Structure 1
Amino acid sequence: MVNMTDNEASVIDEGAFSVRRSISIDAPIEKVWRAITEPEHISRWFGQTVLDGTGVGAAGTMTFEGYGTIPIRVEAIDEPRSVTYRWSNDDAVRRAGLEDDEARSTVFTFTLDEIAGGTSLTVVETGFDRTTDPAANMADHAVGWVSELDKLVALLEGDA
């Protein structure tokens, strides 16, 4: 059995303006896939998610308590191996009350692989060079991916 305490923290690549985190989950790939692609499942561990459809191009919002609502769109899908989302969540833009701008958005991709005892999930978020404060945003998101993916592990392993 895989234990979430064995999962490493996020890694920031300042040169590539990216954040990466890989975790192991004691759950089958199909279950993890549903948890990262179906709004009703995403809403149980990440942000309250609403999409206007399914598949590439589906758009909607994610709402986080104490943070607000963020536009999100599905950019790519390779079921059940990877899904890519674009979101406009530049922290400085939000604090200034400005309109979210796709030019300052980042993209995150979940990649799944079957492993003994479950699923390996890697998230890579890129595009921080387009944000108003790349270093601060990468640091915030590195912490955020630890928190959010730990919730995903707890949910899926608790339901296993």
Structure 2
Amino acid sequence: MSESLQTRDGRSVLRMERWLKHPPEKVWRAVTESERLADWFPEKVTPELRVGGTVAYESGENGAVTDLDPPRLIAYTWGTDHLRWELHPEREGTRLVLLHTFDDRAAAASYGAGWHTCIVALDLALDGRPGVDPGVDDIALHERLVTQLGLDAGTVETGPDGWRVRHERQLTRPADGVWGALTDLAPDGADEAEHVLAHDAEEGGRVRWELVPGTGHGARLVLTHTGTGGDPQAVLEADRSRMARLLERLEAVPTGR
């Protein structure tokens, strides 16, 4: 499986590829027929196979088919997201390409880990062994994708009033567990509110940690560091270290916390 993340027209595009040993005609049925989609797709879905046709999701949401070229291409909407499935004949099998377009860039690792698991299930279903591969470590996969897709890089903005360093990270632990780890690591005198923690930093400026809604797979953490002096690039590295210490702490505490 290969994964990459791009930006197109202001939106994030996650690209995932996997070679399947089955021919495109067989894979096509698995990605378009509702009874076969049930073996691997994240929820029950029924696509109407014509451009403009309805895509009915179990959640009650409806999408629409935007592109259709059997047995090579089907694309459709899912809420504000767009899914494009391409089937390319390759080595007597099929190179499956998924392009998932969405707005929430910080969610890319969660989406990537989820689709990885789904495509593994698709491969098993094509082999006549529907189910989920017990060897998939969802947490390790998510963290690998965070690094691979550059979601741990952070951003630096500068202006007449100073600088702002920002990290937004989708986590795999629930908010209560993350909050416990944050407060354990907070310096004395840190200010606390509901899921917000703030404190001064040794390198200058003010650090603010906030837990906000994310993908539903765990807490979403936003770290914002603002100041007026010093080197914001050095601050960026210091905040990466802060985030790394938090992740180490989360690994050290029980998952139920």
TM-score by length of 1: 0.70
CA-based RMSD: 1.8
Do structure 1's residue 31 and structure 2's residue 26 form an aligned pair? yes
CA deviations 1:17-74 (Å, max 9, x no partner) are: 11010001111110001111122211221121134x43112214333xxxx4543321
Between the aligned partners of 2:75 and 2:62, the Cα distance in structure 1 is 14
Q: Which has the higher relative contact order, 1 or 2, with Cα contacts under 8 A spaced 6 or more apart?
A: 1
Contact preservation (8 Å) 1:12, 1:142: no
Q: Distance in 1 between matches of 2:61 and 2:5?
A: 22
- 1:124 is aligned to 99
Mapped to 2, the partners of 1:151 and 1:48 lie a distance apart of 14
Query: Cα distance, 1:121 vs. partner?
Result: 0.6
Measure how far apart 1:115 and its partner are: 1.1
Q: What is the TM-score when the length of structure 2 is the normalising length? A: 0.45
CA gap 1:79/1:60 in 2 versus in 1, 3 angstroms: closer
| Paired residue secondary structure (1:158) | coil
Deviation at 1:110, TM superposition (A): 0.6
Partner of 2:249: none
Q: CA deviation at 1:118?
A: 0.9
2:19 matches 1:44: no
Distance 1:70 1:26 in 2: 33
Which residue in the other structure is 1:151 paired with? 121
Structure (1 or 2) with the greater helix fraction: 1
Deviation digits for residues 123-149 of structure 1 (CA, Å, limit 9, x no counterpart) = 0012x23xxxx1233222111111111
Provide closer, same or farther for how the CA distance between residues 80 and 11 of structure 1 changes in structure 2, counting only shifts above 3 A.
same
**Structure 2 unaligned residues grouped into runs of 5+:** 130-257
Q: Which structure has the larger Rg over C-alpha atoms?
A: 2
**CA distance in structure 2 between the partners assigned to 1:50 and 1:111 by the alignment:** 18
- Aligned partner of 1:83 in structure 2 is 74
- Residues 11 and 142 in structure 1, CA contact (< 8 A), matched pair in contact too: no
Distance 1:50 1:118 in 2: 25
- Structure 2 letter corresponding to 1:151: A
Larger deviation, residues 34-43 vs 134-143: 134-143
After the TM superposition, list the runs of 4 or more consecutive aligned residues in structure 1 that deviate by more than 3 angstroms: none
Give distance in 2, aligned partners of 1:112 and 1:79: 9
Give the number of equivalent residue pairs: 125
- Contact 2:5/2:13 (<8 A) preserved: yes
**2:45 partner amino acid:** T
Partner of 2:64: 73
Check if 1:11 corresponds to 2:7: no
Give the match for residue 52 of structure 2. 57
Q: Distance in 1 between matches of 2:62 and 2:4?
A: 25
